[in-house]
A = this chain, B = another copy of it.
Amino acid sequence: MHLEVMLQKIQDGDKRFVSRALSEVENSTQIGEEILENIFPLLGYSYRIGITGPPGAGKSSLTNQLTKLIVEKNFKVAIVAVDPTSPFTGGALLGDRVRMTEVGTNENVFIRSMASRGSLGGLSQRASEAGDIFDAAKYDFTIFETVGVGQSELDVAKAVDTTIVILVPESGDSIQAMKAGLMEIGDIFVMNKSDRLGADQAVTALQVILSFRDHDEKSWLPPIVKTIASENKGIEDLFQTIIKHKSFLIENDLFDIKRLERLKNRIRDLVVSSFRNEFWNGERKSILEEKVQKVLVGKISPMTVAKELIEDFKSSVI
């Protein structure tokens, strides 16, 4: 199929072609690369939301309810579920995906799960690329739901406009979230399961923690929204808070700055991955295999090998 036809079908929001484009991009096929190369003039439509938090906080449930609400308002929603799962553990996702069925069958909702296949490093990049497809396909909102708490979550946060951190009023939950670096990345905090004992104290504790964040009168002070996702409570409040954050970003010219930062990160990643591909040819892989033996017995250092390899690369481009 011609690239132009493909791009047009994506822009028309044809789900089959969106799905195919996502696969091409995920598998780094030639057409996938070409789509990414040519999709940029089409971007800037979709608002990107990240939902993260510790395991068991209710991320899937919240994503589910938020999606339902947004769809009721006649918007289109795409969900990118970022699961650092391998094929071996594929079955583990069943629980979440079953919960998503309710919204997954809606014609204005598109759900895409992305597993890591052992290379978590590139997961956020691939998630971001999927976001571009949804952007071109005119989904009003794209929600990135991340499982677990780690580097991929922090990376995904860089790739969205509004990051929602979801916590539950359990002892130590805020502390664990802080440890994982979630406190700095949250634009909005959700205290889910807020009917539980200790919820008010947990919110107060969270307010105190957040007040320590560097801020001045012009900066966004992350609000805390109380929800009970399982009972669909607080979701409208959350949506309105997202819209408030969006307005804040636009009024302060931060929306474009965020997009610029995203693009710069993308370019930096592309530079490294292009370099890696070109660098590790068969010959240099052999040099590595050979020299690492010498490192193992303490004869030379890893840095010496790295430098030799880089010199070899440089002399090869002349």
Contacts and interface: CB of A to CB of B under 8 A. Distances in A.
Interface in A119-169: 120-121, 147-154
A267 B172 contact: no
Contacts of A89: 178-179, 181, 183-184, 209
A86 interface: yes
Interface string A168-182: 000010011011110
A130 to B, nearest CB: 15
A176 B58 CA distance: 12
Interface string A269-299: 0111011101100000000110111011011
A198 interface: no
A84 B40 contact: no
B176 A56 contact: yes
B149 A271 contact: no
A107 B104 CA distance: 58
A242 to B, nearest CB: 23
Which secondary structure dominates chain A's binding surface? helix
B270 A306 contact: yes
Nearest to A291: B267
Contact of A267 (B42, B183, B309): B309
A43 B93 CA distance: 41
A241 interface: no
B147 A180 contact: yes
A264 interface: yes
A271 B92 contact: no
Contacts of A43: 298
6 contacts: A88-B183, A88-B212, A148-B150, A260-B296, A267-B302, A275-B279
Interface of A: 33, 36-44, 54-56, 83-86, 88-89, 92-93, 95, 116, 120-121, 147-154, 172, 175-176, 178-181, 183-184, 209, 212-214, 256, 259-260, 263-264, 266-268, 270-272, 274-276, 278-279, 288-289, 291-293, 295-296, 298-307, 309-310, 314, 317-318
